[in-house]
Chain A
Amino acid sequence: MSMPFYVSPEQVMADKAEFARKGIGRGKSSITLEYAGGIAVMAENPSSLSKIGEIYDRIAFAGVGKFSEFDQLRKIGVRFADIRGYQYSRDDVRARALANAYSQAIGDAFTRELKPLEVEVIVAEVGDPELVGHEKSEIYRVLFDGSISDHSRFCVIGGSEEELTGYLQTNYQVDLPLGDALRLGRNALQRAADGQATVPPENLEVCLLEKARVGRKFRRLNVEELREHLGA
């Protein structure tokens, strides 16, 4: 039996992290931002394969990186949420629990598997002013190594995260109307080094969690609606 070469744990982790970052950096970024009427999730996505999905009544998902991996996470999230809602009640399905479960699973894969998941995901939950204990919107981000963070106002995932976050920090305002929020989001995505300088509405994927809707608050905007809101 041959002895494997010794590699320090630090080196293993650093290599894995670099590998994951590279994979994620190849894809385009995604933005989640709060606006007056709820939460908007946007991604530059010319393909018909969705990066944004509905998880539950007030919860949406967004992923960047390797499609097959984050899409699997999206489906896992739907199963997790539907089982919870069935077992307890619809109001007991919370973004924080799901984000924690993602964090555990992605973190586990990062330490145990040879190849880490090349993904970053967002779990966003829109607040419901009528529902005690659920009034505030919540946005959670989980990175490739399972590290989890919560955000308010806006959150960016993907290769150009720093640039876009910087742009949003200077330009974001609270309680923006939907049109302004979407224009801001598009302007931010256009600054991404990994994207195109001008993003036409056809290349944008936009989903909303609308406070005003009853029950399932998730809605996908089609190109016509998007064009109308962007005023272009």
Chain B
Amino acid sequence: MEIPGFGTYRGASFFELLRVDHPQLAIDWSQAGNRQPVSVPHGTTVLAFKYAEGVIVAGDRLATEGHRVASRDIQKVYATDDHSMIAIAGAAGPAIEMARVMRIELEHYEKIEGQPLELDGKANKLAQMIRANLPAAMQGLVVVPLFAGYDLRRKQGRIWKFDVTGGRYEEADFEATGSGGLYARESLKKSHRSSATRQEALEMAVQALTDAADEDRATGGIDTLRGIFPTVICCSEPGIEQAEEDELRSVYEALVERRRARGGSSS
């Protein structure tokens, strides 16, 4: 029987619930009309790679608007549940919103159905959300996140990248995206080992972000003056764990020291 006063949607997706029963809360970009690209803050470099225990996702903290700094300490890497993470690059507003809806989506499904989605299912759901964002992407509000997590069934970390049409591509070892993504990927190409320990993995992550910040002006390096460190989240079988600032500081200082000792251009 129908219970009155609670909308019509009967499925397990929060994303669809918003669209069906609460359209005032879900923006329909195709109605936005204005075809001029809008100027909004953009997030820059995020990366993900596998290590011995699972997968690491990291991102710098800078958001830029054109040539200006929009924010020095935004967060681009989010835990979406105990075993998955999303890293956002692109238009910061819609991207952060997508990370938030994704997190609620996974929790909502788990509560309605009584069990969580498989990691594949989570990645697929995110692809659908990106596809639904296509009208906004056409207006310049591109959101192309990385998604990574620990697959409890396969007992391994997994990484996906996406394109604006919702195309979903699983990566074998590592991936980076955003304006400094190319440099981060080049850095990882040389340093990455899937058998790395957690400590080695933190070193690889900090090094890749430092290299990206060195080459790409829109990527924020580690700012010891202000005490701004990248967000680095490790995901393994026991769950999610965010690297402490002190840990990142010592990894970064060791890196700088190594480069200084080598006599090259330290960064």
Contact = CB atoms under 8 A, between A and B. Distances in A.
Interface of A: 50, 53-55, 69, 72-73, 75-76, 78-80, 82-83, 85-87, 101, 104-106, 108-109, 112-113, 115, 117, 216
Interface string B17-43: 110011001000000000000000000
B72 interface: no
A108 B111 contact: no
Contacts of A80: 6
Contacts, number: 61
A83 B22 contact: yes
Contacts of A69: 1
A75 B112 contact: yes
B2 to A, nearest CB: 9
Contact of A108 (B4, B7, B9): B4
B25 A104 contact: no
Interface string B85-121: 0000000000000001100100110011010000000
Given A82-B104, A85-B104, A86-B25, A53 B4 contact: no
A82 B25 CA distance: 13
A88 B4 CA distance: 23
Interface of B: 1, 3-7, 9-10, 14, 17-18, 21-22, 25, 100-101, 104, 107-108, 111-112, 114
Contacts of A101: 5-6
Contacts of B3: 72-73, 76, 105-106, 109, 117
A78 B1 contact: no
A117 B9 CA distance: 20
Contact of A79 (B6, B25, B100, B101): B6
A112 B6 contact: no
- Which of A69, A106, A109 gathers most chain B CB within 10 Å? A109
Given A86-B14, A117-B3, 16 more contacts: A53-B111, A55-B111, A75-B10, A76-B6, A82-B107, A82-B111, A83-B22, A86-B25, A87-B25, A101-B6, A104-B5, A108-B4, A109-B1, A109-B4, A115-B1, A216-B107
Contacts of A85: 104
A50 B114 contact: yes
A54 B110 CA distance: 9
Interface of A is mostly: helix
A53 B25 CA distance: 26
B98 to A, nearest CB: 13
A41 to B, nearest CB: 15
Contacts of B114: 50, 53
Nearest to B114: A50
Contacts of B5: 101, 104-105, 108
A61 to B, nearest CB: 10
B104 A86 contact: yes
25 contacts: A53-B114, A54-B111, A69-B1, A72-B3, A76-B6, A78-B111, A78-B112, A79-B9, A79-B21, A82-B17, A82-B104, A82-B107, A82-B108, A83-B17, A83-B21, A86-B14, A86-B101, A104-B5, A105-B3, A105-B6, A109-B1, A112-B4, A115-B1, A117-B1, A117-B3
Contacts of A86: 14, 18, 25, 100-101, 104
B111 to A, nearest CB: 5
The 10 closest A-B pairs by CB, nearest first: A78-B111, A76-B6, A108-B4, A105-B3, A82-B108, A54-B111, A105-B5, A75-B112, A78-B112, A82-B14
A39 B249 CA distance: 42
Contacts of A73: 3
Given A83-B17, A86-B25, A78 B108 contact: yes
A113 B5 CA distance: 14
Contacts of A104: 5
A211 to B, nearest CB: 20
Contacts of B4: 105, 108-109, 112
Contacts of B112: 75, 78-79
B209 to A, nearest CB: 28
Contacts of A216: 107
B1 A79 contact: no
A73 B10 CA distance: 11
Contacts of A54: 111
A213 to B, nearest CB: 12
